[in-house]
Amino acid sequence: MKLKYKIMLLSVLIVTLAFMAYSYSQIPFYTQEYPAGPSLNTGDRLLIVAPHPDDEVICNGGIIGYAVEHHIPVKVVVVTDGNDTKTSPITRHGETINGTKILGLNEEDVIFLGYNDGSLRSLLNDYWDNKNPFTAPDGSKQINYPYAHEKNASYSGSSLTNNLKTIINEFNPTIIVYPGGDDEQFDHQATSGFIEHATTQTGYNGSKYTYLLHLPPNWPSPRSYYPEYYLVPPKQLVGMENGPKWSVFNLTTHQERLKEESLQAYRTQIVPSSYLLSFLRKNELFAEYSTINVSRNNANIPEQDYARGLQVPSILFVDAAGDGKYHGKEEPWDILSAGMDINKEKSWISLKTAGKPVSSAVYNVRLNIFNPEGTQRVKISVDNGAARLEREGIGTSTSEEIPLIIKNNTMIMEIPSNLFKNNPYFILSIDATKSGAVLDQTPWRVVKVQP
């Protein structure tokens, strides 16, 4: 064989091997270097919180099976009734009882709250007060679910939060596993917010881990049944400033098979073409979101310093670019980061988007502030170039216009520092809407004001 043909053949072989190596590296046969977790010991008590009747097994069937196998107490809380208009809540209740029984749980280990499927974001943001409950599609304003933990509870955020607080106080979990705020399904996002609210308000000091289920269009990869693969974090949610810290819970062959058998009990939800089968892998995936500290600055920084760009609020956290309903294609609605400065008299909150703000967008910054005298709910809205601050406390509600600075793709809003007079904890989330529809939303994050 002539030398030039040998060289050509060798070149083709090298290119082919390089392509195969690259392709192999993109297929999740092995987890990357993520720590193992959660770590479960004999003294632990595990609480799993599921927005819908099936989430408890899809993302957590393996860790539940492990806990049962090692005699670690487990409780599952299912927040909604699962009434997705296609399947009756009674059927879905039975599927959950049967599915978790396969994992080794008893019926009394599963708690059903019975709130209306699809309503949780509304309860968290708009229908908090028992005196102003959410109205379900059937006209009801209270739970009429036969298996509800609290019969006839009002469809309100405060009722749901009180249910969670009661369960946490009575079961006393050392580990709570709940949906991550980066999940793009609204009930999952809201459940994450409710857990952050309940645990912060009660001073819960155990461990908290989140799980992720909805992040279309490309995660998990591949979005199909590949039980020989590992589940790895989405690339856009790795290495973010103050972002999730991922951990991997590896399953034994027995735990994998038990989880798959359990998942098949959810006959109305799991069909051969379902991407939910993507979560039958060799591991389960969890993340921790740490509390963010923001320091109080006792100086008075002039407004013009922010207006001129001489001062920019410190970044609290970064939100993944290209997420949300249209995966970043609507740049003015794609939230990139949130920032905050707490000064002596005036404080500033910033919101940065991928594109310049537009008049057809409404941006909402939501804070639940935990003070000794009670919780204050605050909403800052930017609409058509103007900003308003709404405060909702115990029996009080106020609204006022506040200064707004817009520089390129960053909005900076001035708020009074007395909101944080007691150096409180608070939780914060930001959403961007178009004609009432949410196009992007950040997770609810826990923040502590430092003196």
| pLDDT computed for residue 1 by the predictor | 53
Angle at 189 between CA 184 and CA 195, to 5 degrees: 155
Please tell me the distance from the alpha carbon of residue 76 to that of residue 64, in angstroms, as a whole number.
9
Coil, helix or strand at residue 69: helix
Domains along the sequence of the chain with CATH: 46-288 (3.40.50.10320), 292-450 (2.60.40.1190)
Kindly give the confidence (pLDDT) of every residue in the chain, 451 residues in length, as a single tens digit, with 9 standing for 90 and above: 556 665 666 666 665 655 544 444 445 555 668 999 999 999 999 999 999 999 999 999 999 999 999 999 999 999 999 998 788 999 999 999 999 999 999 999 999 999 999 999 999 999 999 999 999 999 999 999 999 999 999 999 999 999 999 999 999 999 999 999 999 999 999 999 999 999 999 999 999 999 999 998 889 999 999 999 999 999 999 999 999 999 999 999 999 999 999 999 999 999 888 899 999 999 999 999 999 999 988 777 888 888 787 888 999 999 998 887 777 689 999 999 999 999 888 999 999 999 999 999 999 999 999 998 889 999 999 999 999 999 987 667 899 999 999 999 999 999 999 999 988 999 999 999 999 999 999 999 999 999 8
Pick the closest to residue 186 from 431, 445, 435, 434 (CA basis): 431
Please tell me the distance from the alpha carbon of residue 122 to that of residue 186, in angstroms, as a whole number.
9
| pLDDT computed for residue 395 by the predictor | 67
26 Rama class: left (phi>0) / alpha (psi -120 to 50) / beta: alpha
Around Cβ 440, how many Cβ atoms within 10 Å? 29
| pLDDT computed for residue 20 by the predictor | 47
| pLDDT computed for residue 180 by the predictor | 97
User: In 203-323, which ranges are continuous DSSP H helix?
Assistant: 253-263, 303-307
Pick the closest to residue 294 from 320, 318, 317, 312 (CA basis): 317
Coil, helix or strand at residue 46: strand
Question: In a 10 Å sphere around its CB, with 0-12 CB exposed, 13-18 middle and 19+ buried, how is residue 390 labelled?
Answer: middle
pTM of the predicted model, to two decimals?
A: 0.92
What CA dihedral angle connects 435, 436, 440 and 445, to 10 degrees? Answer: 150
Residue 6 backbone dihedrals phi, psi, to 5 degrees: -65, -40
| pLDDT computed for residue 394 by the predictor | 64
Owner of token pair 């150096």: 423
Q: 3-state SS of 154-198?
A: ECCHHHHHHHHHHHHHHHCCCEEEEECCCCCCHHHHHHHHHHHHH
Please tell me the distance from the alpha carbon of residue 259 to that of residue 100, in angstroms, as a whole number.
9
